[in-house]
Amino acid sequence: MDLTAISKQLTDAIGLSSAPIALSFLDEVPRGIMVFDSKVPSACTFWTRAEKGLFFAGAEDHENCPVGTLTMGFPLHAKVMSSLQEFVAKMCHAAYIGAKEPESIPRYKNGKKGILYGPLGIFPQKPDLCLIWVNGRQAMLLEEALGMVCWDAIERSEAFGRPACAALAITLNENRTTLSFGCSGMRTFTDIGDDLLLLSIPGAMLETLSERLRATMNANEEMLSFYRQHRQQFPVST
């Protein structure tokens, strides 16, 4: 799988504002990979850090974000569990979530000891998943290419809100693309603009994505031409 070519095609074909990133859940640090040695406020902070280069972050590096620790399938030690309870209590008090919601938040079932993060274009191995920031049109094109918007599809696209990191757990557990509208925490910790959504794609789907995206782009160009010609038959009155 040529990840460099796939990343370039994704970026160029649909005009991404930032390059795709990749994640692999691992029990050991790959040889030659930098180990993260700072502190971050959230698990999603790693997503924008990953645009700048490869690094490995252990489970403990995610623990300042108890919700992210939960969704990524890392161990919930006593300190993390206490913090998680505080976060949930605040969310419920603010009516941000319902009292029974926390027990239903998706969690990766096969959590490892850490995560390898980095740009998709230089990722050293087949990733478990790929994350892309997309606007509405870009999301539509990618979902079309992946076959997730067909009405006769066995599985159709779904979109979720909070927490944004739950989208990753769904992708990993169910091996399907997941779109997140992006929670307020994600936008605070990543500084991602309000016009962008998060699309999570299983690594296994990347191999055929290039060809399928090319076909989707061609089909959309043909239909755009058709729609424009049709529109010209109905002059707008002033």
Quick one: how far is CA 63 from the chain centroid? 20
Residue ranges covered by each domain of the chain? 3-217
Q: For residue 58, what pLDDT is reported?
A: 96
Helix, strand, coil share (%) of the chain residues, nearest 5: 45, 15, 40
- E-assigned strand segments in 50-134: 55-58, 114-119, 129-134
pLDDT at 147: 80
Q: CA separation (Å) from 112 to 39, 58, 61, 118, 129?
A: 20, 9, 13, 17, 14
What was the pLDDT predicted at 85? 87
Tell me the C-alpha distance between 6 and 21, whole Å.
Answer: 11
* Model pLDDT, residue 180: 93
Handedness of CA 212, 214, 217, 221 (dihedral sign): negative
Q: What is the pTM of this model?
A: 0.90
- Distance separating alpha carbons of residues 99 and 17, to the nearest angstrom: 37
How many Cβ atoms from other residues are within 10 Å of residue 41's Cβ? 12
Q: What does residue 163 show for φ and ψ, rounded to 5 degrees?
A: -75, 150
Provide CB contacts within 8 A for 212, sequence distance 6+.
Answer: 145, 146, 147
Q: Would you write out the chain's pLDDT as a tens digit for each of its 238 residues?
A: 899 999 999 899 899 999 999 999 999 999 999 999 999 999 999 999 999 999 999 999 999 999 999 999 999 989 988 988 888 888 888 888 888 887 888 999 998 999 999 999 999 999 999 999 999 999 999 988 888 777 766 666 678 888 999 999 999 999 999 999 999 899 999 999 999 999 999 999 998 888 889 999 999 999 999 999 999 988 876 5
